[in-house]
Amino acid sequence: MSTLAHVFEAEGLATIALGSQRNQIEATAPPRGLWCDFPLGRPLGKPADPAFQHHVLEQAFSLLAATGPVFEVFPESIEDDPSEVLACPLPPRHDPEAHPAVDEARGLRPAYDRAVATFGNRTGAGRVVDADHITDAIEAFIRIAEGVPWKEAGVPGIPARVSQDLRGYYETAAIGLADHVPGAWAGTRWFFDHTEAGKVVLAARSVMRDAGEKHPVWFYMTPGDR
């Protein structure tokens, strides 16, 4: 993004770059950079806090007055609590004939729709796989976990991107079930540690890794610390 910022600036378009990792924004040196020490994925800091978000934007837009390269630090930091556990009840089994992950995803659809209706589809499914086809993606990953090569398993896109949609579907559903906005990574931890679909993704990833698939194909199906 910093490279693009330099390209746009060369054409006369002023830019502002917000960064969550100081070493990256300093190393890439955008023309106008604001480092916000916030959790990744939350560039404006606090969800559902318009006053705080407007404060961040006000400082960002103030950089437009600079005539040369400028780097500033937002004065307030936000730390993600890695110990936070998302208490999110999963739906009971409905169809004993279906794979537990497929049955689970179907049961979460009302919560997903409720969250989208309230907050919009900002982080849910839809990049590659929409909500109506999430169970198809799960079934493809089940086949991979059972030994079917991923290119023959019917994965509806690059596995990493499909996995992101699946995770987005679950994390959005979790917002519809929880009574608060969870921590930045609490939904991700809940998905991989407590859901059947998370277990399927981890199993498929492990099989692909052990089969010698290229690193990017399987590695980015989960966050790097998995």
Per-residue pLDDT of the chain (226 residues; tens, 9 = 90+): 777 878 888 888 889 999 888 888 888 888 999 999 988 778 888 877 899 999 999 999 999 988 778 999 999 988 877 666 677 788 899 999 999 999 999 999 999 999 898 887 777 788 999 999 999 999 999 999 999 999 999 999 999 999 999 999 999 998 888 766 777 678 888 999 999 999 999 999 999 999 998 888 999 999 877 7
109, with CB counted inside 10 A (0-12, 13-18, 19+), is middle
- 3-state DSSP helix/strand/coil % of the chain, to nearest 5: 50, 5, 45
Give the Å distances, CA to CA, from 80 to 130, 184, 190. Answer: 29, 6, 15
pTM equals 0.76
